[in-house]
């Protein structure tokens, strides 16, 4: 048997419904914040990630899925979304769009060759949002507020925003020097990777997965002590906007992030859910004012955030959030002979077009087994299509919970179900004007209701 690759998942059943629900909430949230959806390719030139994410980051040195295509091009499966968005922003000259800043979001698969464990996958799905073309601390706060609101809308209560600032280039450089000085005498006690990182990128030592518990590392200098006045002012303004928006956060100087493009604001959001384990960071992001320029575009200040959908789905399940996920169907159509089966095909088509969730029999089971299937699917109603009823232009329809049964003319089946299942809608419908604007009593075919409810009754 061929098995799926390590660190990849098959998402189906209830889990798939949770994922789809998360996607719907994301789309609704992004509409409110006025971000537009953007899709970029899953593979890009390898160089994009080397120059964009950083030559010395784990993501590029150890975790990247690189290959050469048949034309000899060096290709990488994207490990994250920001570099591709920035490449597309430059290539499509989106900086010239009169509508500024550019506010976009994406939701797609990324690939990181990591050691698979719970919450750490090789194929992962990220929702991310980016503002390109604003240096205003208000936009940093907007990104953080949108992330928090997403988690709240999905019912997560225990979340924690960890906020930090790396400062501008001058502050970062001062901090870098301080770290090199600090680590130099102790570097022999660190892992090989960290020894290499000391000169190339000492910030990466701070989020080393191997040396995390090393006391030297824990007591290392903090970014905030190296911010110049301008960077400090800026950081305070971000906090002021977060306060205005009533977003709770904690200043956490240990947040430095695993990607190289950040300056000023950086943040990570944790889920404080029991059972989550060490990979409890739901999402993270920050400001990256240098990246567009570094990738040959014009100087463009940007800020963004991304969250892993898998981790999010896990947090929702662990917190036992009740999601409004449809786990039942409106009607199950049962039948025995061929004529009834053909009628089931016709009726299922009609009712589905009228908006009902309808299922029926496809495997040749007897009536008893069909009723069992209707129960398994949590059918609200069942309807046995027997030839005698159909000849009389009627059906027996049973409420599968109360077991009450009605005999209904086939002409009014849609209205019957509408009233029983969508009680509110049915009432509105009876009150005067149909949803399409026609008056009840008036013959019309535009909306699928055909004609007036009162008239039918």
Per CB under 6 A, residues contacting ligand HAM are 80-82, 112, 114, 119-121, 124, 126, 128, 130, 258-259, 281-286, 288, 304-308, 310-311
Q: How far is the CB of 125 from ligand HAM (least distance, A)?
A: 8
Q: Where are the beta strands (DSSP E) in 145-190?
A: 159-165
Q: How far is the CB of 303 from ligand HAM (least distance, A)?
A: 7
> Which phi and psi angles does 341 have, rounded to 5°?
-60, -45
Q: How far is the CB of 176 from ligand HAM (least distance, A)?
A: 20
283: left (phi over 0), alpha (psi -120 to 50) or beta: beta
The residue nearest ligand HAM at its CB is: 304
Given the complex with ligand HAM, which of 7 and 355 has the nearer CB atom? 7
Given the complex with ligand HAM, which of 268 and 389 has the nearer CB atom? 268
Q: Which two tokens stand for residue 297?
A: 């575009």
Q: How far is the CB of 127 from ligand HAM (least distance, A)?
A: 9
Contact between residue 112 and residue 133 where contact means Cβ atoms under 8 Å apart? no
Q: How far is the CB of 112 from ligand HAM (least distance, A)?
A: 5
Contact between residue 329 and residue 31 where contact means Cβ atoms under 8 Å apart? no
| Cα 80 off chain centre by | 14
Which among 52, 124, 58 has a CA at the least distance from the CA of 82?
52
Given the complex with ligand HAM, which of 6 and 342 has the nearer CB atom? 6
Q: Return all residues near 107 (Cβ < 8 A) that are at least 6 apart.
A: 23, 26, 37, 125, 126, 127, 128, 309
Given the complex with ligand HAM, which of 172 and 311 has the nearer CB atom? 311
Contact between residue 107 and residue 127 where contact means Cβ atoms under 8 Å apart? yes
Given the complex with ligand HAM, which of 40 and 370 has the nearer CB atom? 40
Given the complex with ligand HAM, which of 59 and 452 has the nearer CB atom? 59
Given the complex with ligand HAM, which of 100 and 195 has the nearer CB atom? 100
Residue corresponding to tokens 């046995």: 384
Which among 374, 151, 109 has a CA at the least distance from the CA of 273?
151
Given the complex with ligand HAM, which of 146 and 379 has the nearer CB atom? 146
Contact between residue 67 and residue 214 where contact means Cβ atoms under 8 Å apart? no
Q: What is the dihedral of CA 50, 52, 58, 64, to 10 degrees?
A: -60
Q: Return the SS3 of 84.
A: helix
Given the complex with ligand HAM, which of 147 and 384 has the nearer CB atom? 147
Q: How far is the CB of 87 from ligand HAM (least distance, A)?
A: 13
Distance CA 269, CA 162 (A): 6
Burial bucket for residue 53 (CB in 10 Å: 0-12, 13-18, 19+): buried
Given the complex with ligand HAM, which of 205 and 452 has the nearer CB atom? 205
Q: How far is the CB of 209 from ligand HAM (least distance, A)?
A: 12
Which among 126, 98, 95, 92 has a CA at the least distance from the CA of 23?
126
Q: How far is the CB of 135 from ligand HAM (least distance, A)?
A: 15
Question: Which residues face 358 on adjacent strands?
Answer: 331
Q: How far is the CB of 302 from ligand HAM (least distance, A)?
A: 8
Q: How far is the CB of 263 from ligand HAM (least distance, A)?
A: 11
Start-to-end C-alpha separation, the chain: 59
């Amino acid at each position: 048997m061929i098995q799926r690759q390590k660190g990849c998942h098959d998402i189906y059943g209830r889990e798939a419904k949770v994922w789809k629900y998360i996607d719907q909430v994301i789309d609704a949230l992004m509409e409110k914040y006025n971000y537009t959806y953007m899709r970029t390719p899953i593979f890009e030139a390898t160089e994009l990630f080397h120059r964009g994410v950083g030559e010395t980051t784990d993501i590029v040195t150890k975790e990247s899925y690189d290959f050469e295509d048949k034309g000899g091009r060096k290709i990488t499966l994207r490990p994250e979304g920001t570099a591709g968005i920035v490449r597309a922003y430059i290539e499509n000259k989106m900086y010239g769009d009169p509508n500024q800043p550019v506010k976009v979001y994406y939701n797609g698969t990324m690939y990181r060759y990591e050691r698979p464990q719970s919450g750490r996958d090789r194929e992962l799905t990220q929702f991310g949002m980016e503002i390109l073309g604003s240096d205003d601390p208000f936009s940093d706060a907007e990104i953080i507020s949108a992330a928090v609101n997403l988690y709240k809308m999905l019912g997560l209560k225990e979340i924690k925003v960890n906020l930090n600032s790396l400062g501008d280039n001058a502050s970062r450089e001062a901090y870098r020097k301080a770290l090199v000085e600090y680590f130099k005498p102790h570097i022999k006690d660190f892992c090989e990777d960290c020894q290499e990182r000391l000169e190339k990128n000492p910030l990466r030592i701070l989020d080393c997965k191997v040396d995390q518990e090393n006391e030297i590392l824990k007591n290392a200098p903090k970014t905030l002590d190296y911010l110049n006045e301008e960077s400090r002012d800026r950081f305070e303004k971000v906090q002021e906007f977060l306060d205005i928006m009533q977003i709770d956060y904690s200043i956490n100087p240990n947040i430095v992030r695993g990607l190289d493009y950040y300056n000023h604001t950086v943040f990570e959001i944790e889920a404080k859910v029991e059972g989550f384990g060490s990979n409890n960071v739901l999402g993270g992001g920050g400001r990256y004012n240098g990246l567009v320029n570094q990738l040959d575009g014009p100087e463009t200040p940007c800020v963004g955030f991304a969250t892993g959908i898998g981790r999010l789905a896990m947090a929702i399940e662990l917190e036992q959030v009740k999601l409004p996920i449809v786990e039942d169907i409106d009607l199950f159509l049962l039948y025995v002979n061929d004529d009834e089966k053909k009628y089931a095909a016709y009726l299922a088509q009609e009712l589905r077009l009228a908006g009902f969730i309808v299922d029926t029999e496809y495997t040749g089971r007897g009536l008893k087994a069909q009723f069992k299937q209707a129960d398994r699917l949590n059918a609200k109603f069942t309807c046995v299509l027997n030839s005698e009823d159909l000849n009389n232009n009627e059906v027996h329809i049973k409420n599968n919970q109360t077991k009450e049964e009605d005999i209904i003319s086939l002409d009014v089946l849609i209205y019957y179900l509408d009233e029983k299942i969508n009680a509110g809608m049915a009432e509105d419908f009876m009150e005067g004007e149909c949803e399409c604007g026609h008056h009840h009593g008036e013959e019309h075919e535009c909306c699928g209701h055909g004609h007036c409810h009162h008239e039918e009754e």
